[in-house]
């Protein structure tokens, strides 16, 4: 089986890359061990985050760091055994979270984020999937006036620098938008440009079906068998391509390391659970409880409760302690029904120490490309990454964004 390009990884990023390359007339094979959208892209908050121009920074205040060291925080947990291996990544992450460095990183990151809604809408229209996208925005809610006012200032900075639209909500206005939340909240910030998705897996699946309608081929296979120039084992036999794109999210690093690239990815895991939505108490927007570190979102399957971050090594066993800790708090905020899922879902986010994704050609291998490390925003940035990779790979002179900040050799 011979193709022009093999794309490894069928999450939102890989599927989007495959679509864009197939649209440009290339014969593309999309390879994954599971059906499209059934790993990290399956279990996110379902947000296409136009407001997310500032990547999540590492805390630098001594008090916060000491608090996290107890490993009982609601928003961040860690596996103690993983810390020695994660230490180099965490040091880079901490160093790059200095306010001056973080501001510089945000300007590069924003170049991708500012395209995210438009690029998703273009793919969704072509795939007949616009019904899965909802222009509701999302809301951060606050329990204290101090935190609310601090976030108001951050939202205004995002508006001035990057055109992020928002509405500052006092308690009364928040109650108008979400009357079924607890009435003890101090207010919120409503980010109005963000799109919410009723079923993230269904959106990835729709894009994958569009890829196949364009003539692309999806193959179940083992990406770890990748050999140069460029071959990979699949259930239907060996697939060969003139070029290959590694878009395997957290599973990209082992392949990159085998090829001689030390990129030092860190893994931030997250969990979710669905709950029945009470018929008489609807939730209209995704809602982030900032001070408690969890998000609830209305989905086709029910109300999805998602946790913060858990630092661990790739494929370590599940430890859904955060979910157990925040569920009773979420029930106080909103009347969640009974659990719908048999067990919590877990996903693994691939994060870089400078908070920027890795997008571009592998410098020591001809016709090999990398597209991973999107952290919390792989679902958001899939389509614009797909467009950028396709433009670079095909030698386009006009690129959707400047790829320089995302180059592989910055490491």
Question: Which of these, 224, 269, 256, 270, lies nearest to 82 by C-alpha position?
Answer: 269
Question: Which of these, 189, 192, 249, 280, lies nearest to 39 by C-alpha position?
Answer: 249
- Regions of the chain short of the pLDDT cut 50: none
Q: How far is CA 256 from CA 183, 249, 251, 259, in A?
A: 50, 11, 9, 5
For the stretch 66-71, contacts whose Cβ atoms lie closer than 8 Å and that sit 24 or more positions apart, written own/partner, are none
SS (H, E, C) 15-43: HHHHHHHHHCCCCEEEEECCCCCCCHHHC
Which domains, and CATH codes, for the chain? Answer: 2-42+201-264+355-410 (3.50.50.60), 53-97+132-198+265-351 (3.30.9.10)
pLDDT at residue 340 in the model: 97
Report how far residue 312's alpha carbon sits from residue 350's, in angstroms, rounded to the nearest whole number. 11
Could you tell me the two tokens for 129?
């999937």
Question: Which sign, positive or negative, has the C-alpha torsion 96, 376, 74, 195?
Answer: positive
pLDDT at residue 54 in the model: 96
Residue showing tokens 């089986």: 1
pTM for the model? 0.97
pLDDT at residue 229 in the model: 85
Q: What 3-state DSSP class applies to 161?
A: helix
For the residues of 221-279, what is the DSSP string, one character each?
Answer: EEEEEEETTTEEEETTEEEEEEEEEE--GGGHHHHHHHTT-----EEEEEEEEEEPPPT
Could you tell me the two tokens for 227?
């050999």
pLDDT at residue 264 in the model: 81
Residue showing tokens 């569009």: 210
φ, ψ of residue 320 to 5 degrees: the values are -80, 45
Q: Regarding beta strands 28-32 and 2-8, do their DSSP bridges make them parallel or antiparallel, or are they unpaired?
A: parallel
Whether the CB-CB separation of 259 and 42 falls below 8 Å is answered with no
Report how far residue 245's alpha carbon sits from residue 370's, in angstroms, rounded to the nearest whole number. 6
Report how far residue 301's alpha carbon sits from residue 295's, in angstroms, rounded to the nearest whole number. 16
């Amino acid at each position: 089986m011979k193709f022009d390009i093999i794309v490894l990884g069928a999450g939102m990023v890989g599927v989007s890359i495959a679509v864009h390359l197939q649209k440009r007339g290339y014969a593309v094979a999309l390879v994954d061990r599971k059906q499209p959208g059934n790993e990290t892209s399956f279990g996110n908050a379902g947000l296409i985050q136009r407001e997310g121009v500032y990547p999540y920074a590492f805390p630098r205040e001594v008090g916060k760091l000491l608090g996290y060291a107890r490993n009982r925080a609601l928003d961040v947990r860690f596996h103690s055994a993983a810390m020695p291996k994660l230490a180099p990544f965490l040091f880079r992450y901490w160093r790059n979270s200095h306010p001056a460095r973080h501001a510089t990183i945000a300007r590069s990151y924003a170049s991708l984020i500012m395209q995210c809604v438009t690029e998703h809408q273009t793919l969704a229209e072509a795939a007949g999937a616009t019904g899965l996208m909802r222009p509701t925005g999302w809301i951060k809610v606050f329990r204290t006036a101090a935190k609310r006012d601090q976030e108001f200032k951050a939202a205004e900075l995002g508006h001035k620098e990057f055109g992020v639209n928002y509405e500052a909500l006092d308690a009364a206005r928040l109650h108008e938008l979400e009357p079924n939340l607890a009435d003890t909240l101090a207010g919120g910030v409503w980010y109005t440009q963000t799109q919410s998705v009723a079923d993230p897996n269904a959106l990835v699946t729709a894009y994958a079906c569009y890829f196949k309608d364009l003539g692309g081929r999806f193959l179940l296979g083992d990406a770890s068998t990748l050999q140069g120039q460029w071959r990979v084992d699949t259930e239907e036999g060996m697939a060969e391509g003139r070029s290959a794109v590694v878009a395997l999210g957290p599973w990209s690093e082992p392949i990159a390391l085998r090829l001689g690239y030390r990129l030092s990815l860190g893994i931030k895991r997250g969990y979710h659970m669905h709950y029945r939505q009470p018929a008489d108490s609807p939730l209209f927007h995704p809602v982030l409880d900032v001070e408690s570190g969890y998000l609830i979102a209305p989905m086709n399957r029910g109300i999805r409760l998602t946790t913060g971050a858990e630092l661990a090594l790739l494929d370590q066993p599940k430890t859904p302690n955060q979910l157990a800790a925040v569920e009773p708090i979420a029930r106080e905020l909103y009347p969640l029904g009974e659990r719908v899922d048999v067990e919590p879902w877990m996903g693994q986010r691939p994060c870089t120490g400078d908070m920027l994704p890795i997008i571009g050609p592998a410098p020591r291998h001809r016709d090999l490309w990398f597209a991973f490390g999107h952290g919390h925003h792989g679902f958001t940035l899939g389509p614009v990454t797909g467009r950028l990779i396709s433009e670079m790979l095909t030698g386009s002179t006009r690129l959707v964004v400047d790829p320089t900040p995302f180059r592989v050799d910055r490491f």
